[in-house]
Amino acid sequence: MIKKLLIITPIYPPVVGGPAQYIEKLVTKLPKEYQTNIICLGKENVKQEKFEQISIYSNPLLRQLKLFITIWKNLKKADIAYVQGTLTVGFASMIACKLLGKKYVLKYVGDEVWEKYQSNGGTLFLDEYLESKKSFFDNILFNLEKIILANAKRVIVPGKYLQQVLAKHFHIKAINIPNAVEIPKIKMLAKKSNSIIYVGRLVPWKQVDKVLKAFKKLQSKENNKWSLTIAGDGIERENLERMVNSQKIQCVTFTGIISKQKVLNLMCEHEYLVLYSTYEGMSHTLLDGMGLGLKIIASDILANRTILKNGRFGKIISLDKSLQLDDAFTQTYTQVMLDGARDYVTKEHNWERHLQLLQQTLNT
């Protein structure tokens, strides 16, 4: 029996980010009994067979109205909606589903109210913020998130940390379905010695500024023998480029937005992958890096500790020890550690397992 699935997502390639790459890969991996249509937000309005994109540059209220109308039209022909987030696409999805008597499964990969707060200069970590007294407007959005989550047929998270967040702050019992990665068949060339790469959005909670500070310190100790590639884009890019120029940090390259394939090719060329963020749900970047044999340096947060098995598959640095971050790049990594990381990703984060759990959730 054919099952018609409407996927609604705030980002989609060529935009960089785990959720975008996830949906792109998901539609190619789902069994043939699933027919998928995608609705997403992007730079311009696009309408194609089985795909519609709504411009993010329109007035926010008009954008939500157009999103609702687009969901409404497509949802009439669908059996269920798979919604990738709460406020940006979840509100319009919830209203359309309610009016049409349809169900939606929601994937929660991060808190949109907290991300807005952080982007506006907030310094509280996710749990701290959710427990704190919020501004009047943020409190409205927070309560709207609660409503959107409560009305979902099921809520999916990619890791135990977000499962705990939803249970504690939203009283939602979420289903943990770990992210899946596919280790690409790339010709593995010799990695450039002393090369570091960061992959991801350039947003405050990723703390790329602290990576740059550590890199500058490393360069001064090692006579500029190291290189750093920053692959991604975001609201912090201008500040980070200004920091590199003003502090004369040498051998730093910003790639901007590039395709997933180019990102993977770049990762294969580098020796180290760094991710010193204050928040992750479950990082696709870490999983890719482990699968490709990079030496991992990550922040000591629950999501990263879970993936790296408390330091078995990479170096974990406490968030209050950023001044020691540079030392992690000169520590010893064994081949047993690197091989173990690759084996773990292959066994625990494969698409076969992810699809089995996802289909059970969509069908029950």
Q: What does the pLDDT read at residue 188? A: 62
Burial of 18 (0-12, 13-18, 19+ CB in 10 A): buried
Q: What does the pLDDT read at residue 259? A: 86
Gap between the Cα atoms of 213 and 211, Å rounded: 5
Q: Specify the domain boundaries for CATH 3.40.50.2000 within the chain.
A: 3-180+350-363, 195-348
Q: What does the pLDDT read at residue 187? A: 62
Gap between the Cα atoms of 197 and 319, Å rounded: 19
CB 316 within 8 A of CB 298: yes
Task: Look up the CATH architecture of domain 195-348.
Answer: 3-Layer(aba) Sandwich (3.40)
The class (CATH top level) of 3-180+350-363 is: alpha beta
Q: Where are the alpha helices (DSSP H) in the chain?
A: 18-29, 60-75, 87-100, 112-119, 126-131, 136-150, 160-165, 208-222, 237-246, 260-269, 284-291, 302-307, 335-348, 351-363
In the DSSP assignment, the letter for residue 189 is: P
Contacts of 304 (CB under 8 A, 6+ apart): 275, 280, 283, 286, 298, 316
For the chain, state the CA radius of gyration.
21
Contacts of 241 (CB under 8 A, 6+ apart): 254
HSE on the CB side for 43, CA within 13 Å?
3
Gap between the Cα atoms of 36 and 1, Å rounded: 14
Which segments in the chain show pLDDT lower than 70?
Answer: 186-189
Q: What does the pLDDT read at residue 189? A: 65
Task: Output the pTM of the full model.
Answer: 0.89
Gap between the Cα atoms of 161 and 208, Å rounded: 22
Gap between the Cα atoms of 323 and 66, Å rounded: 48
